[in-house]
Amino acid sequence: MDSEQTNLEQQIKINFKNKELLKEALTHRSYLNENPKWSAHHNERLEFLGDAVLELIVTENLFKQYPQSPEGELTSIRAALVNYQILSKIAKEIGLDKAIYLSKGEAKDSDRAKETILANAFESLIGAIYLDKGYEISAKFIVENVLKFVPEIVEKKLYKDPKSLLQEIIQEKLKITPTYEVIGETGPDHNKIFEVGVYFEGQFAGQGKGFSKQEAEIDAAKDALSKLSHENHKRIT
């Protein structure tokens, strides 16, 4: 077995009975194009299963942990917890990024594309753990690696859409609505990156980038929220 697979097992403290199952969880579709004789299938079926297992265990824990929270809020917290950025971060923490089998082209892809691949592989790993070890071990793995982010998400209200949260704060303090403006565009038409600024009554408050105007606006709102947090709201008080 690949040494990186062994390292991954050691890192997550789970020893697979079926090593081929782990190998499948780590095999991206692109790898098979360059290695047609590879013994494992790609990991998309395991990703499908792992996504469902992850959602069930996260939902069960949030339901028990926050008995007074309404369904809509729990849904938002769950969405913030299992987004591709957090899952890819966890994947790197456990060394999954070193163990995954990718084509040479995919390995050189953009950071965002690699984050998505890692997040999907993390869900595939959960699917493999579930099939190999069952519900209890899967739940323990998810609680230890994923649910540890819940307190920060709840405390900082990261489960709220950044634009909505920024608007709530600014309307409460200044009685105005933040405005967004495209301040730059780079790249070819098929892969354009937008840069957007967010303003409070014409005063620059933050900026962000994204592959769409909406994504850039969300990134700009995050930047403005970060600045407000770091300055203890000095800008608006």
Q: Which residues are catalytic?
A: 51, 123
Measure the CA angle with vertex 99, ends 151 and 139; round to 5°: 40
Measure the CA angle with vertex 9, ends 85 and 109; round to 5°: 35
Helices (H) and strands (E) in the chain, counts: 13, 3
Count of other CB atoms within 10 angstroms of residue 34:
13
| Cα–Cα dist 23/138, whole Å | 17
| Cα–Cα dist 204/202, whole Å | 6
Q: Rounded to whole angstroms, what are the CA distances from 88 to 6, 60, 145?
A: 20, 22, 12
| Cα–Cα dist 163/170, whole Å | 11
